[in-house]
Amino acid sequence: LGILQLTVNMSGYDRKEDSPFRKPPVMPPDSDYKYKQFLQRQKGLRCTYSGKTVKACDNEYIGIALFGTGRIGNLYLQLLHRNPVVKLLYIVESTEKTIQQVQKQYESRKATVLHYDQRDVAFKDEKVQGIVIATPTSTHEEIVQEALSHKKAVLCENMVANDGDAIKKLYEEAKMNNLVLLSGLNRRFDPSVKNIYQRIQNHEIGKLQMVKTVNRICPLQSLEVLKNTAMTDELGIHDIDMICWILGEFPVKVMAVGHGNIPEVRDNHGIDTGLVIMKFASGVVAEIDLARYSPYGCDQRLEVTGSSGLLQSNNEVPINVALMNDKGMSCPPMYHSFVSRYRDSYLYQLDHFLDCVQGVDKPIILAEETVAVKRVAMAAEISLHTSNCVTLNWDSDDFSSLVKLHHGTTSPARRNSHDFRRNSHDDRSRNHFSKLGAPRRGSYDVFPEALH
């Protein structure tokens, strides 16, 4: 009886003192972004990339035409078909064989498949509000120009053109006609990268000192792509944008070295493996490790070092299971392709584009940033082939919109730096520009004509 009484008392004690029903509910951490999205959707809401809460779905569909169905194009096909606000109206391809394959796969989904020569049909259709471009970079300028001339919003994978002046003109036309033009620099939309960016904004690791990235891709691209595209342009440009976005400034010195390890690439005087080093006015040094073929998977890493700590994003794995036995420990390999590794970032980038088309958000990737990133990539390519360190001059006119955007703030890299404190008594316009971490005109005397 005594034991029974004790058991009952203990049971009552547990219910009274330790029951989770008597405690406040445990709230999800910010890092569990998928569960937070689920809770928002339960209320018929969702959050835009910039943090604005809007209704989850509108009654009106957004008509989209997709150009290109390669690896990225196929990923966009899947994402577009699954998006509740999208109606995919046209798919545009350039080869008959691909057209037949796409027609067979998507004939039941009411998307019209067009040859590239028939693209005017899509441009002239008033139901088409947006164009998603996933074709080779060399074709981007022509498609973007035609899309803007037909008053269509544009999401373009990678850069909208191969030339800085052309990029600027396209953005000016988009602005003049109040059209959305978004360059697909998708690393900004990756949850891990965005988390690092936000924590740097919160000063968690002090004054920034060094950034290291690894970008080695898999599977092997076609020989045609490897021969006809520059490594820093096609591959490194994403790292350049990510680093400059995180730091809030652009480099003043760029140096690159590389080699062709793949025989077919080397025979064509190409480079498939390289290292890009960038020096910033704030004192930060950045290193980009690039390889156009990684046999062990899609190797994607980011590390930012500060005066009081380090932030690191390591390779992600599709299945997080480890085996431990007498031979040691083993785990599944990393994601095989950037298509799977960055699927979430492509999804959030597409959502951001659709939000901009609907007018509930504004593009976070600005014209000045895109032009500047292209300029840095060109500097890296020049250094790669000349073995020279390229020094970049920046002018405040290059960043007029960014000065407004960062008004009253300081870039994370320049915050508390000696250079920034020393210039704190400069005139207002120069001080605002210094907050972007860019040097004044004339502060460096080397500027290759090829970069103009």
Q: Write out pLDDT tens, residues 135-151.
A: 999 999 999 999 999 99
Q: Which of 134, 7, 4, 136 is nearest to 66 (CA)?
A: 134
424, 416 Cβ separation under 8 angstroms: no
Three-state SS across 123-162? HHCCCEEEEEECCCHHHHHHHHHHHHHCCCEEEEEECCCC
pLDDT of res. 413: 65
Q: What is the DSSP letter of 406?
A: T
Per-residue pLDDT reduced to its tens digit, 238-293: 999 999 999 999 999 999 999 999 999 999 888 999 999 999 999 999 999 999 99
Confidence of residue 427 (pLDDT cuts 50, 70, 90): very low
112, 90 Cβ separation under 8 angstroms: yes
Q: Which of 350, 334, 375 is nearest to 134 (CA)?
A: 350
Q: pTM score, two decimals?
A: 0.84
| Strand 390-391 versus strand 251-259 pairing type | antiparallel
Confidence of residue 59 (pLDDT cuts 50, 70, 90): low
Side-chain-side CA neighbours of 452 within 13 Å: the count stands at 4
Burial of 200 (0-12, 13-18, 19+ CB in 10 A): buried
Query: Quick one: average pLDDT of 391-418?
Result: 58
pLDDT reading at 113 higher than 50:
yes
pLDDT of res. 356: 96
pLDDT of res. 419: 42
Mean of all residue pLDDT scores within the chain: 85
pLDDT of res. 437: 40
- Quote the tokens at residue 298: 């899609």
Give the position of tokens 């730096």. 417
Q: Where are the beta strands (DSSP E) in 68-207?
A: 86-93, 112-115, 128-133, 153-157, 181-184
φ and ψ at 154, to 5 degrees?
A: -135, 130
- Quote the tokens at residue 307: 């005066």
Cα separation, 107 vs 428, whole angstroms: 60
DSSP 269-312: T---EEEEEEEETTS-EEEEEEES--TT--EEEEEEEETTEEEE
Cα separation, 47 vs 26, whole angstroms: 21
pLDDT of res. 418: 43
Cα separation, 261 vs 258, whole angstroms: 9
Burial of 282 (0-12, 13-18, 19+ CB in 10 A): buried
Cα separation, 371 vs 170, whole angstroms: 11
- Quote the tokens at residue 182: 């978004």
* pLDDT cut 90: percent of the chain above it: 64
Cα separation, 162 vs 52, whole angstroms: 33
Q: Which of 397, 398, 384 is nearest to 448 (CA)?
A: 384
Per-residue pLDDT reduced to its tens digit, 327-386: 999 999 999 999 999 999 999 999 999 999 999 999 999 999 999 999 999 999 999 999
Amino acid letter, 223: L
Query: Quick one: average pLDDT of 67-77?
Result: 93
Which domains are delineated in the chain?
Answer: 34-184 (3.40.50.720), 188-336+366-405 (3.30.360.10)
Quick check: bond before 448 cis, omega within 30?
no
Burial of 202 (0-12, 13-18, 19+ CB in 10 A): exposed
Quick check: bond before 219 cis, omega within 30?
yes
377, 236 Cβ separation under 8 angstroms: yes
Q: What is the DSSP letter of 91?
A: E
- Calculate ∠ Cα 283-286-290, nearest 5°: 165
Query: Quick one: average pLDDT of 51-56?
Result: 77
With H, G, I as helix, E, B as strand and everything else as coil, classify residue 22.
Answer: helix
pLDDT reading at 305 higher than 70:
yes
With H, G, I as helix, E, B as strand and everything else as coil, classify residue 38.
Answer: helix
pLDDT of res. 116: 95
Q: Which of 295, 276, 279 is nearest to 287 (CA)?
A: 276
For residue 210, what are the contacts with CB-CB under 8 A and spacing of at least 6?
284, 285, 286, 287, 303, 304, 305
Distances (CA, A) of 174 to 39, 147, 160, 338, 368: 36, 10, 12, 30, 13
Cα separation, 449 vs 393, whole angstroms: 12
